[in-house]
Amino acid sequence: MRVAVIGSGIVGASAAWHAAGLGADVVLAGRSQPGEATAAGAGIVCPWASDHDDADWFRSAADGARYYPELVAELAEAGERGLGYQAVGALALAADEADLHGIRRRVLERRRGAADTGEVDLLGESEARALFPPLAPGSRAVRIAAGARVDGGRLRDALLRQARYRGVGLRTGRAALRRSADRVTGIEVDGEHIAADAVVVAAGAWAPELLAPAGVTVRVAPQRGQIVHLSLSGADTGHWPVVMPATGHYLVPFDGSRIVAGATREPGTGFDHRVTAAGLAEVLAEALAVAPGLAGATHLETRVGFRPVGPDIRPLLGRVPQLDGLVVADGLGASGLTSGPWAGRVAALLATGADPGLDLTPYDPVR
């Protein structure tokens, strides 16, 4: 069978690679656009400490985190290195002692059903600052050993390379759905008609404009995020843990003395791809409040991405009932790099007629 995938972010790349691995003839259509979430984001893979209480969201995020080691190992066997993924651990900071113990309880409770957290430890100031030296005096944290970080752009590029090796045809251009009566028949890319038995739409924040002409409405909107990249000269940051303050902002260290500070959450901006004074001020103020030792860091760049945010925190993932052969994998919001590769795999299974092995009712893409 032939599967067409629209969207070349982390979800689309994963869907194409997996579908080809399942034996399908696959075509992936994508185009580079300012504000692509995959290229802009710094991935934190640590859903266990989140204060979101939606059990279905947590199930998808935990499945995403659980899938990463398997995926990275398979890509490594194929010769891919330097994906930016590493289980460096995560430090969840708290405002006071009660919150600190509350975070630890939440992580331990969730570990019962998603036992991939590794050790969960309470750290005093000296222990926390030994792991992440720029932290403010008095910082205390819950350390989650299995917490990881990932460079979304590098992982996406690796999946696309391996997809090509599996025979996936890549098309660059503006894609549109083609349908006949109540089923999809393929896609059109800049005038080229490509027949397909199934189509996976993983177009991120641009999914609504793609699906609307086919009579399908998905409740996805762009949420602008501004993310600052810093260089801390002389610091060996490659093994530092991810830092997750109680504010919802974060610090993600990478190799090469680079630390990523994020991020704003700005609904209602449309696709306004600008670095704003207010956004930059917010990110830097939050970062320096948590880690004043970054005050002397060099500003390298500020990236802007549009998270595809759905009607709630759960992803939009599954078949579209009114249009046979159409699968949507979108709306992952801030969890895109946690759940993206897993969601692409689920979409590939659905597109090829395989059973993904889970109840997708809570993730109905047209809810």
Mean pLDDT taken over the chain: 96
Q: Is the pLDDT of residue 113 over 80?
A: no
Cis peptide before 235 (omega within 30 of 0): no
Segment 60-75 shows an average pLDDT of: 96
Q: Is the pLDDT of residue 242 over 80?
A: yes
**How confident is the model over 212-233, as pLDDT tens digits?**
999 999 999 999 999 999 999 9
Centre a 10 Å sphere on the Cβ of residue 352 and count the other Cβ atoms it contains: 20
Please list the residues that pair with 226 across neighbouring strands.
304
- CA dist 34 and 224 (Å) reads 12
Q: Is the pLDDT of residue 115 over 70?
A: no
Question: Cα dihedral angle (101, 104, 108, 111), rounded to 10 degrees?
Answer: 160
Centre a 10 Å sphere on the Cβ of residue 112 and count the other Cβ atoms it contains: 7
Pick the more confident residue, 38 or 307.
307
Cβ proximity of 305 and 274 under 8 Å: no
pLDDT of amino acid 302? 97
Cβ proximity of 93 and 244 under 8 Å: yes
Segment 14-19 shows an average pLDDT of: 98
- Give me the count of residues in the chain: 367
pLDDT of amino acid 83? 87
Q: Which two tokens stand for residue 254?
A: 């990478």
Q: Which two tokens stand for residue 129?
A: 């600052």
Segment 282-301 shows an average pLDDT of: 98
| CA dist 124 → 8, 93, 237 (Å) | 43, 11, 21
Lowest mean pLDDT among 82-96, 109-123, 131-145, 282-296: 109-123
**How confident is the model over 128-165, as pLDDT tens digits?**
999 999 999 999 999 999 999 999 999 999 999 999 99
- CA dist 43 and 242 (Å) reads 10
Cβ proximity of 333 and 52 under 8 Å: no
